[in-house]
Structure 1
Amino acid sequence: MSDMERLHRIKYMIQQRKCVPIDDFLDELEISKATFKRDLEYLRSRLKASIVYDRFLNGYKFEFPDEIDKIEMPGLWFSEKEATALVLMQHLLSSLDQSGLIGPHIEPLTAIIDGILGQSETSAKELRKRIKVLGMGSRKNSIENFSEIGAALLKRNRLVIKYFAKGKGEETEREISPQRLIFYRENWYLDAYCHLRNDLRSFAVDGIRSAVLTNAKAQEVSDKDCHEHFAESYGIFSGKATQRAKLRFTPEHARWVAGEHWHGQQVGSFDKEGYYILEFDFNQDPELVMDILKHGSGVEVLGPATLKKRIKDELTKSLDKY
């Protein structure tokens, strides 16, 4: 943590909590008592911060809270538009994280942003209140495993994980070389080279029951190979594309689908009757089948024959239940 960042944190901790014991500063900032005293003196003498020690409350506070916004902290400065964009970015990031993986780690950012905005703090809080992000289909994940995964990605080391595959209902122990972390449809996934399968795999983070960081260096996979394996086919558990889907949407559904992103290399066009034809490559079809079924009678599968049969079988199963 830089000296300037530490000064900001001291100010914002007092601003947020009103009165802060010295041990809290030492623990959270990971500094010595001498360093804290030097920072405190700098804030008082150079930045004119009215920070005093309250013996009754046993902590440091602002003697004149109304003057907090007048303290000119060195560092970042933003225009009104930039400040608004900063608030939006932080709020959307925390709102999208319905699974609670990164929320606890970015909470301090909220206080820092509000402190940087100073007099605009009220507007920032009002802006957050007026913006709602509704996450659908997110699953609860493990914060501890998420931290281990992040460390492995940064250090480029391997992980030993216990992974529960929901589709098969089986748990396996694997050594993997993490490549990248993906936030897809409200959930987190880890793309990695699996040394058990000797191939690239995508793991749902909520399926990782335990993760242990090792000292072994990760096997690197080029961006090109990752793209070919994960991005050329449909869905998160894609693999290299082996088939091509061709879907025909009714004019009513076409108004929505024509503006949607189904695949990075999709091809779409309208016919003379207003129907929308959508084509893209895929490999595994479970995710694709679910997306097609959402449109009900508003979509027709033109190909391939195997996909048409899968959709027909699923519809038959649904009818048999009723």
Structure 2
Amino acid sequence: MDRTERFYKIEMLIRTRGSVSFATLMDELGVSRATLKRDLEYLRARLDAPIVYDRFDNGYKLQADPRDQRQVKHELPGVWFSEREIHALLTMHQLIQGLDEGGVLARHLQPLLDKLHGMLGTSEHEAKELMKRVRIASPARRPVAPRHFELIGSALTRRQRVQMSYWVRSRQQETQRTVSPQRLVHYRNTWYLDAWCHSSDALRRFALDAIREASLLEQPRAKDVPVKTIEAELDAGYGVFSGAKVQWATLQFSPEAAQWVAHEQWHPQQQATLQPDGGLTLRVPYADATELVMDVLRHGEQVKVLAPQALVQRVSRQLRDAADRYA
């Protein structure tokens, strides 16, 4: 533990426990008596930390703000995280571990995690217990090969092209692609790559779990596409499916379903209107109806498609086909 970490841990221990004895500080920091004396003196004299010794409690405390005895206002220079922020970061680290097959991201973030544990003043056992308090459930997650995730991430930051073998599920066919990575997207427990496909000379979205093999190309450099162009072409429709022509779907939800749907975001540009009976009318843009139909069907009898007619017919046909399987 370096000196900066010790400074932060000293203040955090005192702040969280109220009063800490000299012996406890020595034990928690694993330093000699002389080193701890120097650290305390430096904190008080050079960093203006309001650390005082309380003879009654036989421990070190933080002196309250004279203007408000309930608060202790002090922040070490060069340290940006409060205790609540550190806990939020630990929660985010747990989220990454839940999403990151093979631990690629978590492995790179481990040094930061170790520093955060040190700043909190937690032991290894306490840190593990803390992490158990966050559970991330990822149903229907499609794992990505760690080597592919790391390679794509490297290509994205270093602006390199990627040669890859990609499995097209709709055609049940393996294709060869040369792409310029533009953006990584995590959507519904699945990772996607938005890239310029040099084979089709257009922007395309690829599921990372469908990559069979991939390699970096040193030359030429990746083609750069403005973010606004990517958003306009790939984010305008519904979900992960893109298309040239955007249409608007009108959905009518029952009062029972409206209690949940009213608080959901189906699309950033959605238009929701509450009805007098408690129902909800929702309008969302879409270019390809595939994912929209799936979301409509999961609400069963609690939703009705009002427009456009082609979407009405598609949902109606799929409901009939599903009912026929139980006939």
**Amino acid across the alignment from 1:196:** S
Residue 173, structure 1, aligned to residue 176, structure 2? yes
- Matched position secondary structure for 1:263: coil
The Cα shift of 1:285 comes to: 1.2
Give the aligned length.
263
Gaps in structure 2 of 5+ consecutive residues: 6-25, 40-75
**Amino acid across the alignment from 2:298:** K
Question: Do the aligned partners of 1:69 and 1:118 also contact (CA within 8 Å) in 2?
Answer: no
- The equivalent position to 2:211 in structure 1, one of 208, 212, 218, is 208
Please, which moves more after superposition, 259-268 or 102-111? Answer: 102-111
C-alpha separation in 2, matches of 1:300 and 1:181: 34
Please, which moves more after superposition, 77-86 or 282-291? Answer: 77-86
Aligned residue for 1:256?
260
**Amino acid across the alignment from 2:176:** E
Aligned residue for 2:291?
287
- The equivalent position to 2:315 in structure 1, one of 311, 315, 322, is 311
Question: Do the aligned partners of 1:249 and 1:299 also contact (CA within 8 Å) in 2?
Answer: yes
Gaps in structure 1 of 5+ consecutive residues: 9-63
Residue 85, structure 1, aligned to residue 71, structure 2? no
Aligned residue for 2:159?
156
Question: Do the aligned partners of 1:231 and 1:264 also contact (CA within 8 Å) in 2?
Answer: no
Residue 129, structure 1, aligned to residue 132, structure 2? yes
Question: Do the aligned partners of 1:87 and 1:124 also contact (CA within 8 Å) in 2?
Answer: no
* Higher alpha-carbon Rg: 2
| TM, length-normalised to structure 2 | 0.73
C-alpha separation in 1, matches of 2:203 and 2:127: 43
Query: After TM superposition, what 4+ stretches of structure 1 lie above 6 angstroms from structure 2?
Result: 69-72
**Amino acid across the alignment from 2:97:** S
The Cα shift of 1:119 comes to: 3.8
The Cα shift of 1:173 comes to: 0.1
- Which string of whole-angstrom CA distances, capped at 9 and with x for unpartnered residues, describes residues 171-209 of structure 1? 100111110001110110000111111111100000011
Question: Do the aligned partners of 2:28 and 2:121 also contact (CA within 8 Å) in 1?
Answer: no
- The equivalent position to 1:115 in structure 2, one of 114, 118, 122, is 118
Question: Do the aligned partners of 1:76 and 1:116 also contact (CA within 8 Å) in 2?
Answer: no
Aligned residue for 2:30?
68
The Cα shift of 1:80 comes to: 2.5
- Which string of whole-angstrom CA distances, capped at 9 and with x for unpartnered residues, describes residues 20-61 of structure 1? xxxxxxxxxxxxxxxxxxxxxxxxxxxxxxxxxxxxxxxxxx
The Cα shift of 1:251 comes to: 0.4
Question: Do the aligned partners of 2:101 and 2:146 also contact (CA within 8 Å) in 1?
Answer: no
Aligned residue for 1:26?
none
- The equivalent position to 2:226 in structure 1, one of 198, 222, 225, is 222
C-alpha separation in 1, matches of 2:159 and 2:132: 39
Residue 106, structure 1, aligned to residue 106, structure 2? no
Task: Kindly report the root-mean-square deviation, in angstroms, between the aligned alpha carbons of the 2 structures.
Answer: 2.7
1:21-100 matched pairs, under 5 angstroms:
67-68=29-30, 76=79, 78-97=81-100, 100=103
| TM, length-normalised to structure 1 | 0.74
C-alpha separation in 1, matches of 2:100 and 2:157: 21
The 1:144–1:205 alpha-carbon spacing in structure 2 relative to 1, beyond 3 Å, is same
**Amino acid across the alignment from 1:239:** G
Identical aligned residues as a percent: 40
